[in-house]
Chain A
Amino acid sequence: MKRNFAYSPPGGGRHAPRGPREKITMKSVKTLGRVLGMLFKEYWFLLLIVGITTVLSSLANTRGSMFLQELVDDYIVPMIGKPNAEGYSQLLKAIFYMGLIYLVGVGSTFLHNWLMISVGQGMLRKVRARVFNKLQSLPVKYFDQHGYGNIMSLFTNDVSTLRQLISQSIPQLVTSIVTIVIVFVNMLRLSGWLTVVVLCFIALMFIFTALLGGKSGKYYIKQQASLGELNGYIEETINGQRVVKVFCHEDKAKADFDVKNEELRRNATRANSFANVVMPLMNNLGNIQYVVLAVVGGALAVSGVGGMTIGTIIAFLQLSRNFSMPVSQVSEQVNHIVLAMAGADRLFQVIDEVPEDDEGTIDLVNIKKDLDEIVEVEEHTGAWAWKIPAENGGFTYKRLCGDVILTDVDFSYVEGKQVLYDISIDAERGEKVAFVGATGAGKTTITNLLNRFYDIQDGTITYDGIDIKDIKKSALRRSLGIVLQDVNLFTGTVRDNIRYGRLDATDEEIVAAAKLANAHGFIEMLPDGYDTVLEGDGSGLSQGQRQLIAIARAAVADPPVMILDEATSSIDTRTETIVQRGMDQLMHGRTVFVIAHRLSTVMNSDLIMVLEHGHIVERGNHDQLIEQQGIYYRLYTGAFQLD
């Protein structure tokens, strides 16, 4: 979660090298190559124009400095004291000519900026969509392994570093390099001796930026670490603020906070101090260089070495001003690019992930109800059939019954740590099968296998006699309605949230589903009824109300088989009885899997499985299990606890 805070530290504007000077590794070079490759593949034409405009605008700018030399040497000096009309008209022509060059420069700059917007933003749009779409195709396993905070930070932090990279760092780096080359060539043309002086200063500038950047980077890492710690502390304390209040723990919380806050302040001060010093240092090295150039240039002019003229000195001085800026920018941008590569790398990792494989071919279709022969229809009817592709290219149909059979299923999330052993279950159409067991016994895991969030290692699961591996995942999941203990709602109206179960459900069907789940009553009481907008995962509702909406959502989907994973744990028993009645009605003739802590919820099941450490240790209906006087019996009488 800590990486979730989109926070860029104050670092003294564009000139501060913010990041640690990471080593330029083969990997980051490769990643950069890939970013550039993507850019060029999509936008080669625009980038070509951008390249041309970059050169043009640099040339115009440099030409301007060179023009000073001509102005002084060719016009002013010869004409001093003897002004003449012809000279003036030539000067005017030169200035007019220069003006045209400048206009081209201005136009190029504009075109460059304008086009880079399309390139940069267009690329980001593609990357965002690609990463998100890829995420949708990834198995649940990926989400379990990577954690919510890390995935969020792809979209907050990593995409924004990429944005920085594409729309700032790379263009600036290119512009700087082009400028350096052009200016350097012109400097050489003006004076070799003075160029040597400039080279010395460039070396100095690089050394200083490297030194300061390194120092600043070291403290920057520390600053990020203490910022993460402080933010973590704030998050935990404020989220538990109610407990803090109840225990009058405010003073202790303040004291702990102050320690962490002070730590961050110290590191932030250090990190920023080094970063802030870079800009004045660069500026004034530029000034000193200016002085040295003037002195050396003057000395050269005095001694007459290298044909030094006033115009040359003035022009060179102007050029040197154009030079120090791009030099400090190159070192800064290289730093940024190396940093951005880490983010780009994470994005590519997602793009490169292997999507959930789906070798299934059998689809799920709606069929006409109450008809002996199977007729496929588009709309929702509540009756279903499997559509099995035949070898001749046609299809055969098989009516969906809801027989789910697990045979000797073994499973482990991580190799070597088996979670389920030899699970065999025979759930026939219309049966209610319950799982009971302690946390970690493997109850939820079994449901994860049914809808193929995870794939089994050994054994088989069949659905109406078909191996579930042969069924398209989307079809399999549409046939299974799931209500989970942790309810997730989406920003939108209550109606939209229920409709999430079946997008083409009519308003009447939504109300009917809500009534079935006993949610209609409280929804009507909300300020805007079904049109009340839920935000922040339905934070305005109680846990019980959120569960009722989730049940309504599953009810509107009207699936042939249902999995209820602690679906009613936050609803009081009285309401649960009512909901249960509705659910029983809904589930009439369909297969249901129930996981519940409360035995009252599972008592009326046709089959109860008691799980312990991944094994089914007892099975039977309530009466049979009570008779067995085993674990279930002890649970029921309260002689044994689940946790």
Chain B
Amino acid sequence: MKPRNQGPKLAILFACLVVAAAAVLCLIKFAYEPIAKKAFSSIAAGAQLGNIIFVVCIALAVIIPLIIAVKLCRLYNNKTDSESIIGSTMIGRLASSFREYKKYVYLTPLCVILESIMDTFIPLLTGILIDQGVKQTNMPFIIRIGLVLLGCAVVSLGLGMLTGLFSARCSAGYAANLRHDLFYKAQTYSFANIDKFSTGSIVTRLTTDVGNVQMAFMAAIRVAVRCPVMLILALMMSFSINSELSLVFLGAIPILGVGLFIIMKYSRPVFKKVFKMFDRLNTDVQENVRGVRVVKSFVREEHEKEKFGKDVDDIFFGFRKAERILAFNRPLMQFCMYGSKLLVCWLGARLIIESGETAMTTGQLSALLTYTLQILMSLMMLSQIFVMLTMSRASMDRVDEMLLETPTITDPEDPVTEVKDGSVTFKDVVFSYGKHGDKPVLDHVDLSIKSGETIGIIGGTGSSKSSFVSLIPRLYDVIGGSVEVGGVDVRDYDIEALRASVAMVLQKNEVFSGTIRENLLWGNPNATDEEIRHCCHIADADGFIMERPDGYDTFIEQSGTNVSGGQKQRLCIARALLKKPKILILDDSTSAVDTETDAKIRAGLKNYMPETTKFIIAQRISSVQDSDRIIVMDEGRVTAFGTHDELMKTSDIYREVYWSQQKGGERLEA
């Protein structure tokens, strides 16, 4: 994705559209003036002032949307610290997902603007209808204007429907693109990137947050465009009817505007706080439900009720406070509307009476009253949209954060695409998950392993066994030193080529919903049935698979709920074997299978894959003691490296572990 500076561009576009609308209106005004002059016998009294105000209105029409656009841009365009993306803005990055729906992004507001123009014409025309038709009891005129009006309504209906269709297409398409971009981005993430976000958070960003952004976008593209346009058009119309009377609006708008602004300003932080409280409530329920057995066995129901009761009270008081501020919204709106209405009525009535229906007519009065509603309503909707957009801000941030994240591991330029053999060398490797200053997880590890060796790894919880092996397929990058596979630094390989040759069965095994065969094909999409059965045989999985009525077509439920832990482990081993790897890493992958099966799998690996270098992390000594060599790890360091017999002589830790597992169990040796 090219970082482009889209924010100001959008603002300019927005302003251009409004100027265009203003220009269209000018045309309409001038084209319409001759008719108007004829229709209203005397507009001259207010004409001079009217024209001045007309110009002011056009100026406003340009300035107000500009201010809104700039404000929106400022709101969303906090420059992030990262150096590389300076000049690119959040709106820009989010907007780059429009792609094929870009035309709708322009078409929708255009339709909205045209529809608004139609909508503001209708009251004016009805005014004429009343004055010229109804009052003069001129039936042909009534029908003529009625037809024009009908035409306006139909056009407006058409445009409205188009707006609806365009915006549906555009927002659904945009959301799909955004999800696509995020998902694809997530696929480029390294383990370190995933650790940083946590999988749960990535899922939320892809689902809930995208939904929120989509909603905000749909509202913005329709209502946020319609409201200012409506506001200005209706203002212009009322000024063209009667400029003095329209001055009433110039008084009402600031009152309402300032009032709404104050309401927004005070309610926003309160809402923000309440949403945080919601998160806490959800977390508490979640933990309570998940840990129901813990709650019940410790008899902590009352404690939990108390905790939850506090959450509920906080939300109640928080929401009440926030909504009470918002409660001023509607009354304020009504106050301004009723006030303007009465003023217009009083002044209008006087004008009509004094001038004997020349300076102002009854029909015009009726039209003005309709404009009052349109103007103030638009202003209020605008303020609501603002609130909504600010609320979606958090979701936008979270989505943007994912888009901004750079994968920590990428292919080198000019990569090596073939792994020669399964030899592994650690050269003074220093590794840590955090920043450089942190206590290293691996501390100056130096090792050399020949291709085809079987290496056992033993060590306590937290001794960095898993970290050690995860460097071999370059799941993480070292901080110091280097890891070489087949004599080449892992950082020089094409990642796909490296990982195709290094099969790793993770500690946290995952199978995916689908048939057993589909799961196994992950290892090699082109594997034949014979190959699959062969690998399952080595992993001792063929037996239990064939026991199932559907055999290899048995469907595995989401997160493998219908296979036992030991079966899952064996499936995962078989899946890894299908890759025919040069290096095979089993990270505590047989913890849930019994010793005998464990031994059978190891024997199978030895017989069928003699050339493959094998790393076996285990907690059971029996799983590693027949390895060619055994690594003993403690607190991030390799404390001993040798055969079982050597270690029994030299390593205290190894001996200790050995005896702890042999207590009264000499028979295991037999």
Contact = CB atoms under 8 A, between A and B. Distances in A.
Nearest to A308: B134
Interface string A213-250: 00000000000000000111011111111111111111
A641 B593 contact: yes
A572 B176 contact: no
B349 A71 contact: yes
A484 B312 contact: no
Binding site of A, secondary structure by majority: helix, strand, loop or mixed? helix
Interface stretch (B83-91, B237-245, B265-273, B331-339): B331-339
A261 B104 CA distance: 20
A638 B594 contact: yes
Interface stretch (A180-188, A268-276, A399-407, A421-429): A268-276
B317 to A, nearest CB: 9
B559 A639 contact: no
Interface in A470-517: 474, 477-478, 480-482, 484, 488-491, 500-501, 503
Contacts of B593: 641, 643
Interface string A287-310: 110111011011101100000001
Interface stretch (B22-30, B213-221, B414-422): B213-221
A381 interface: no
B200 A573 contact: no
B665 interface: yes
Contact of A281 (B160, B180, B460): B160
A500 B281 CA distance: 19
Contacts of A241: 186, 189, 194, 199, 202
B215 A314 contact: no
A356 to B, nearest CB: 9
A232 B558 contact: yes
Contacts, number: 450
A234 B664 contact: no
B55 interface: no
Interface in A243-264: 243-250, 252-254, 257-258, 261-262, 264
Given A124-B316, A641-B594, A643-B592, A277 B164 contact: yes
Interface in B496-511: 496, 499-500, 503-504, 506, 508-510
B286 A152 contact: yes
Given A148-B290, A542-B462, A98 B342 contact: yes
B169 A273 contact: yes
A234 B656 contact: no
A630 interface: no
Given A5-B208, A113-B330, A273-B164, A143 B289 contact: yes
A488 B161 contact: no
A472 to B, nearest CB: 10
Contacts of B339: 102
A294 B320 contact: no
B207 A638 contact: no
Contacts of A637: 667-668, 670
Interface in B159-204: 159-161, 163-165, 167-169, 171-173, 175-176, 179-180, 183-184, 186-191, 194, 198-200, 202-203
A603 B664 contact: yes
A76 B349 contact: yes
Contacts of A582: none
For chain A, give the interface size range.
Answer: 35 or more
A13 B130 CA distance: 34
A536 B200 contact: yes
Contacts of A413: none
B544 to A, nearest CB: 7
A425 to B, nearest CB: 19
A559 B308 CA distance: 26
B305 interface: yes
Interface in B360-387: 362, 366, 369-370, 373
Contacts of A628: none
A197 interface: no
Given A7-B211, A574-B660, A261 B595 contact: no
A136 B137 CA distance: 75
Contact of B160 (A80, A268, A272, A279): A279
Contacts of B163: 276, 280
Interface stretch (A42-50, A127-135, A388-396): A127-135
A234 B153 contact: no
Contact of A522 (B129, B133, B462, B510): B462
B567 interface: yes
B298 A294 contact: no
A315 B532 CA distance: 82
Contact of B183 (A257, A488, A489, A545): A257
A491 to B, nearest CB: 6
Nearest to A501: B298
B370 A321 contact: yes
Interface string A58-94: 0000001001100110011101110100011001100
Contacts of B156: 280, 283-284, 287
B480 to A, nearest CB: 22
Interface in A334-374: none
B186 A238 contact: yes
A605 interface: no
A453 B299 CA distance: 12
Interface stretch (B10-18, B350-358, B443-451, B641-649): B350-358
Contact of B508 (A12, A124, A242): A242
Query: Which has the most chain B C-beta neighbours within 10 Å: A10, A491, A553?
Result: A10
B179 A261 contact: yes
Interface stretch (B45-53, B66-74, B321-329): B321-329
7 tightest A-B CB contacts, nearest first: A280-B160, A276-B164, A488-B291, A638-B596, A272-B168, A240-B510, A265-B176
19 contacts: A76-B349, A106-B331, A109-B334, A128-B281, A155-B282, A249-B522, A269-B173, A272-B171, A321-B370, A451-B296, A484-B294, A490-B291, A501-B298, A537-B287, A597-B592, A603-B665, A638-B596, A641-B596, A641-B597
Given A272-B218, A290-B149, 5 more contacts: A68-B369, A238-B206, A294-B130, A539-B198, A641-B566
